[in-house]
Amino acid sequence: MGRKLLTEHINVEGIDTFEVYRKHGGYRSVEKALKTMTPDEVVEEVKKSGLRGRGGAGFPTGMKWSFLAKPEGVPRYLVCNADESEPGTFKDRQLMSKLPHLLVEGMITSSYALGANTSYIYIRGELLYVLRILEKAIAEAYAAGFLGKNILGSGYDLDLYVHPGGGAYICGEETALLESLEGKRGNPRNKPPFPAVQGLYARPTVVNNVESIAAVPVIVNDGGDEYAKIGVGRSTGTKLISACGHLNKPGIYEIELGVPVEEFIYSDEYCGGVWKGRDLKAVVAGGSSVPILPKELILKTAAGEPRLMTYESLSDGGFVTGTMLGSGGFIAMDETTCIVRNTWNFSRFYHHESCGQCSPCREGTGWLEKILHRLEHGHGNERDIDVLASVAKQIEGNTICPLGEAAAWPVSAAIRHFRDEFEWHVRYPQEATRPGAVFPGKAVLA
């Protein structure tokens, strides 16, 4: 059994209340940090831990914190990105609704480290019930003296707010989130300047994912070095994986980074294998925006090594033979899955969610979706697959924010690894679009 650092007490009855959470060691990191450590020492522990951003980008959290500009007399902000909404990713929601005090504790300790006296949790508007859970937890923390003025007599003040967004995927992009938090349309900003220099209200700001902030109490309590002992290489600690799709036991699993992908899919400790005894066809390992990989490449790297659940191993080989750990949204597809249909489905999402600010994303995401719609419905032509790949290429890297890549990567990767299936849709549209049709294999195209 792997160690559980964040979710150890998740099933304890009443753990969402201050009293029970406190009994199980809650808020120890606040006491330790505020009473025995300087803010810089907390930052140093997070650096030592090797914690990488759990929202998807995987940037080292401690390093991100150390970039924060600290001009005299200017307020700084910590903003928690709780706008989780990538298809396939649903672990933050669980963490917040079951363990709200873990996030609040993480926010206090992290805010102290960053010298922020006002912090925000920007939560997805649809998660109204989670917002209420968090608001209750914050009220309890205020009542217990862990928030507000002069916390635990340390002289440190912190106000914490939960702010619901309007429910737009783009508001999960950190600069669009800040725009939205300021009350404006959630359009991403051009970078530079980066939020660490000019973020919320044009002040230095750190934006971190829920899971990243929830890991901070563990790091402060046990020390960064202890945390870094878990995992493999530069992928340290534990990671929440939200597994869904054609699995016997879909759910949210806290894994120690480094678990082999094969073990994660097939062992009883985790997903328990592919449902109905079917064969695995493909996996999207880190949320719908990351490249899809066929079975042979998700279980083993191109060099034949076992693929591990780490940032490095999953990206081994770049996008030609690799993918990304991303946010940990693990979507498994069995042998009956139509890759064209699945890609079209993802594309519909990104088309709908593009903010429309920059031209390649505004026009390109719609173009991708429309071609995929035709292919899936049996109206594709010989040229479509190349045009599709080319349009994805035109979007990738040329947009203001990463939504362009998020829309393009699934399409590029699906064509790269499953081109035969796309061709089948073009050449045998009636067969390919028949309900329940399963791609019969390359032979039919020969």
Partner 1 sequence: MAKITFDGIEVDVPDGTTILNAARTIGGGIVPPAMCYYTPLKGSGGKCRACLVRVAAGSAKDPRPMPKLVASCVTPVQDGMVVENTTSEQVLNVRKGIVEMLLINHPLDCPVCDQAGECDLQNFAFEHGVSTTRYEEERRTFEKIDIGPLIQLHMTRCILCYRCVFTADQLTEKRVHGVLGRGDAAEIGTYIENIIDNEFSGNVIDVCPVGALTDKTFRFKQRVWFTKPVNAHRDCENPKCCGKVVLWYKGKDVLRVTARKDQYGEVKEWICNTCRFDKKETSDWTLEGPAHIDRSSVISANHYELPVLNAQVIADLPESSVRDLEQNPPMRLGN
Which residues contact partner 1 (rule: CB under 8 A)?
Answer: 168, 170, 185, 190, 192, 351-367, 370-371, 374, 383, 387, 390, 394, 397-400
145 versus 167: smaller Cβ distance to partner 1? 167
108 versus 388: smaller Cβ distance to partner 1? 388
Which of 12-42 are b and which e, b meaning 16 or more Cβ less than 10 Å from the residue's Cβ? Answer: eeebbbbeebbeeebbebbbebbeebebeeb
Beta bridge partners of 159: 118
38 versus 359: smaller Cβ distance to partner 1? 359
375, 344 Cβ separation under 8 angstroms:
yes
Q: Which amino acid is at 390?
A: S
Q: What minimum distance in Å lies between the beta carbon of 69 and partner 1?
A: 16
Q: What minimum distance in Å lies between the beta carbon of 320 and partner 1?
A: 17
83 versus 256: smaller Cβ distance to partner 1? 83
300 versus 373: smaller Cβ distance to partner 1? 373
Instruction: Compute the half-sphere exposure of residue 427: CA atoms within 13 Å on the CB side of its CA.
Output: 11
Q: What is residue 189's three-state secondary structure? A: coil
For residue 278, give the DSSP letter. Answer: P
123 versus 358: smaller Cβ distance to partner 1? 358
187, 176 Cβ separation under 8 angstroms:
yes
Q: Which amino acid is at 432?
A: A
173, 167 Cβ separation under 8 angstroms:
no
Instruction: Compute the half-sphere exposure of residue 169: CA atoms within 13 Å on the CB side of its CA.
Output: 23
Q: What minimum distance in Å lies between the beta carbon of 183 and partner 1?
A: 14
| Closest CA relative to residue 25, chosen from 217, 224, 227, 211 | 217
Report how far apart the first and last C-alpha atoms of the chain are (Å, whole number). Answer: 47
Q: Which amino acid is at 65?
A: W
Q: What is residue 384's three-state secondary structure? A: helix
Q: What minimum distance in Å lies between the beta carbon of 266 and partner 1?
A: 37
66 versus 398: smaller Cβ distance to partner 1? 398
145 versus 397: smaller Cβ distance to partner 1? 397
Q: What minimum distance in Å lies between the beta carbon of 192 and partner 1?
A: 7
Q: What minimum distance in Å lies between the beta carbon of 405 and partner 1?
A: 10
Q: How far apart are CA 161 and CA 116, in angstroms?
A: 13
45 versus 353: smaller Cβ distance to partner 1? 353
Phi/psi for 125 (5° steps) reads -60, -35
Q: What minimum distance in Å lies between the beta carbon of 182 and partner 1?
A: 14
Q: What minimum distance in Å lies between the beta carbon of 359 and partner 1?
A: 5
Q: What minimum distance in Å lies between the beta carbon of 368 and partner 1?
A: 10
Task: Return all residues near 148 (Cβ < 8 A) that are at least 6 apart.
Answer: 142, 157, 158, 159
Q: Which two tokens stand for residue 346?
A: 């993802």
Q: How far apart are CA 187 and CA 102, in angstroms?
A: 30
